[in-house]
């Protein structure tokens, strides 16, 4: 295991990575372990394949950036599964090839009147696939938790049944793989892949509409599994009979088991979801603030999360604790104006106005101090207030590469630590950006 010094450095790196990318920081980062660290290369042990995938896809940049800031060296980074990195909810078995989001577990799902039946049926089905509701069909508008529940079923079914083979995919992938199999003349390979599983879970089956050939194939897959007592779980944005141009025989089969709807969550459920999302990110949020967010964002849970992320980002950038005033400042203008997000242009506009320079100057090759500083501030704020990647931010500011943006962020970050005037300026700019009327 790593020495205490390395443990300390690693703890600092994690803290820094969380601050660099608040939207993707998670409480379970505390369970990560250092497997190897020699100054230039860092290998991090993760609880399971789902967390490895999450980190690879969302956090690699911020981790490298954090490691370089803390150590002052170029650092290469690798994530891998390791038994020492345990997750609180116990063992999570992992079937290779399943792509699951580590947040989408039953533990992290808030149950309320709007989703109680869907949740209960998913629990039942994950405990004994094929025996209770078959097929299970869940439908509801976008952002209400269908995909989350399907992932949770996969986690739970794998935990309970050692050797169960699960196929879980989005309907679009199913259709694409079917088309590819035909092109490659390997239909039998495709069929055996889908017809021999213990559970077939397909998300967003409304994608089958107007795809007659795929519907035909799906019909036979369905029959093969159903006749063998294998579990089928489907989700869609509307009830089977309301999916346009879905064949009658599929509509009838989709309705053989249990069809259950998820509705928009009530105020109380939304408050609980905000609390849960904050908890998963390792944040403490008062009831008052959770209530405020739940009041502001009503329709879609994805937007609730977005609001929480915005508040957290503003709190980190302004180094201010999360109180009601900050929450109001962060969300005002954003959500009321149709939940638009802050763009790099919004940021550039405020920065160029403040420094009295032109956007073209920021995008030019000029390196005088009067241009370099606003440009770096612009990069820093874009990194903290938007979800754009380093590459995108560099692209917007005159086609600069990601290392330039990384350097700018770390420089401004340091300046902010050491210079109270810089800190005040960044607070003021952030306030103007987050309050600016959205275009
Ligand atoms: P859908 O597939 O219905 O469009 P998702 O499953 O992708 O929706 O959910 C969107 C976001 O909302 C996800 O981050 C998910 O975790 C969250 N979410 C939805 N319902 C709940 C819930 N009841 N408890 C916790 N999070 C939820
Ligand atoms: Mg979905």
Note the ligand closest to the C-alpha atom of 146. 1
> Any residues with CB less than 8 A from the CB of 159 and at least 6 apart, and which?
90, 91, 92, 93
Residue extents of the structural domains in the chain: 4-81, 106-261, 267-338, 344-435
Report which DSSP code applies to 108: T
What is the pLDDT averaged over residues 193-216? Answer: 92
For residue 135, whether the previous peptide bond is cis, meaning omega lies within 30 degrees of 0, is: yes
Q: Which residues have C-beta under 5 Å from ligand 2, the single-atom ion? A: 146-147
- Pocket-testing residue among 142, 145, 266, 290, ligand 1, by greatest number of atoms within 8 A of Cβ: 145
Rounded to the nearest whole angstrom, what is the distance from the C-alpha of residue 145 to the centroid of ligand 1?
A: 3
- Report pLDDT for 337: 37
Rounded to the nearest whole angstrom, what is the distance from the C-alpha of residue 152 to the centroid of ligand 1?
A: 11
> Any residues with CB less than 8 A from the CB of 286 and at least 6 apart, and which?
none
> Which CATH architecture describes the domain 4-81?
2-Layer Sandwich (3.30)
Three-state secondary structure of 135-164: CEEEECCCCCCHHHHHHHHHHHHHHHCCCC
206: left (phi over 0), alpha (psi -120 to 50) or beta: alpha
d(CA 319, CA 211): 52
- Judge if 106-261 and 267-338 fold alike in CATH terms: no
Q: pLDDT-derived band of residue 89, with 50, 70 and 90 as boundaries?
A: low
Report the SS3 class of residue 359.
Answer: helix
CATH of 267-338, one of 1.20.1260.10, 3.40.50.2300, 1.10.8.60, 1.10.1370.30: 1.10.8.60
Q: Is the pTM of this model over 0.85?
A: no
Q: Is the pLDDT of residue 90 over 60?
A: no
Asked whether 378 lines ligand 1 (CB < 6 A), one says no
* CATH number 1.10.1750.10 given to 344-435: yes
Q: Cβ(23)–Cβ(387) under 8 Å?
A: yes
What is the per-residue pLDDT across 126-166, written as a single tens digit (0 to 9) for each? 998 888 899 999 999 989 999 999 999 999 998 888 778 99
- Report pLDDT for 23: 83
- Report pLDDT for 343: 87
The class (CATH top level) of 106-261 is alpha beta
Note the ligand closest to the C-alpha atom of 140. 1
What is the per-residue pLDDT across 26-77, written as a single tens digit (0 to 9) for each? 999 998 999 999 878 999 999 888 999 999 999 999 999 999 988 888 899 9
Asked whether 106 lines ligand 1 (CB < 6 A), one says no
What is the per-residue pLDDT across 223-262, written as a single tens digit (0 to 9) for each? 999 999 999 999 999 999 999 889 999 999 999 999 999 9
Higher pLDDT, 156 or 315: 156
Asked whether 75 lines ligand 1 (CB < 6 A), one says no
Note the ligand closest to the C-alpha atom of 101. 1
The kind and range of the H/E element at 38 are none
Asked whether 302 lines ligand 1 (CB < 6 A), one says yes
Q: Is the pLDDT of residue 336 over 50?
A: no
């Amino acid at each position: 295991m790593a020495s205490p010094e390395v443990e300390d450095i690693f703890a600092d790196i994690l803290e820094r990575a969380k601050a660099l990318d608040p939207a993707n920081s998670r409480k379970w980062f505390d369970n990560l372990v250092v497997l190897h660290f020699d100054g230039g290369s860092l290998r991090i042990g993760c609880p399971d394949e789902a967390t490895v995938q999450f980190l690879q896809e969302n956090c690699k940049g911020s981790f490298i950036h954090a490691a370089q800031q803390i150590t002052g060296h170029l650092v290469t980074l690798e994530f891998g599964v390791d038994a020492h990195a345990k997750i609180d909810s116990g063992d999570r078995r992992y079937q290779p090839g399943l792509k699951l989001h580590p947040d989408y577990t039953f533990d992290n799902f808030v149950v309320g009147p709007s989703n109680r039946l869907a949740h209960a049926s998913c629990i039942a089905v994950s405990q004994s696939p094929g025996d209770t509701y078959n097929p299970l069909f869940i439908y509801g508008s976008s952002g209400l938790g269908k995909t989350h529940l399907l992932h949770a079923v996969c986690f739970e079914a794998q935990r309970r049944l050692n050797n169960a083979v699960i196929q879980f995919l989005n309907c679009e992938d199913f259709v694409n793989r079917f088309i590819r199999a035909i092109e490659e003349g390997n239909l039998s390979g495709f069929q055996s892949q889908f017809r021999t599983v213990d559970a077939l879970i397909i998300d967003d089956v409304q994608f089958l509409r107007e795809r007659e050939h795929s519907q035909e194939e799906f019909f036979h897959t369905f029959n093969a599994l159903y006749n063998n007592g294998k579990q089928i779980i489907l989700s869609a944005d509307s009830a089977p009979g309301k999916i346009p141009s879905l064949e009658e025989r599929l509509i009838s089969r989709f309705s053989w088991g249990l069809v259950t709807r998820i509705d928009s969550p009530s105020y109380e459920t939304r408050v609980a979801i905000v609390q849960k999302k904050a908890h998963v990110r390792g944040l403490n949020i008062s009831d008052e603030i959770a209530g405020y967010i739940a009041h502001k964002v009503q329709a879609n849970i994805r937007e609730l999360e977005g609001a929480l992320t915005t508040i957290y980002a503003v709190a980190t950038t302004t180094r201010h604790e999360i109180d009601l005033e900050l929450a109001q400042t962060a969300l005002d203008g954003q959500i009321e104006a149709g939940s638009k997000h802050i763009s790099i242009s919004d940021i550039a506009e405020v920065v160029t106005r403040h420094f009295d320079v032109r956007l073209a100057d920021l995008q030019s090759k000029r390196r005088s101090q009067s241009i370099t500083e606003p440009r770096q501030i612009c990069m820093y704020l874009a990194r903290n207030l938007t979800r754009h990647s380093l590459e995108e931010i560099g692209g917007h500011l005159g086609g600069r590469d990601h290392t330039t943006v990384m350097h700018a962020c770390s420089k401004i970050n340091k300046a902010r630590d050491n210079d109270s005037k810089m800190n005040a300026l960044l607070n003021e700019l952030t306030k103007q950006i987050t309050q600016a009327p959205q275009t």
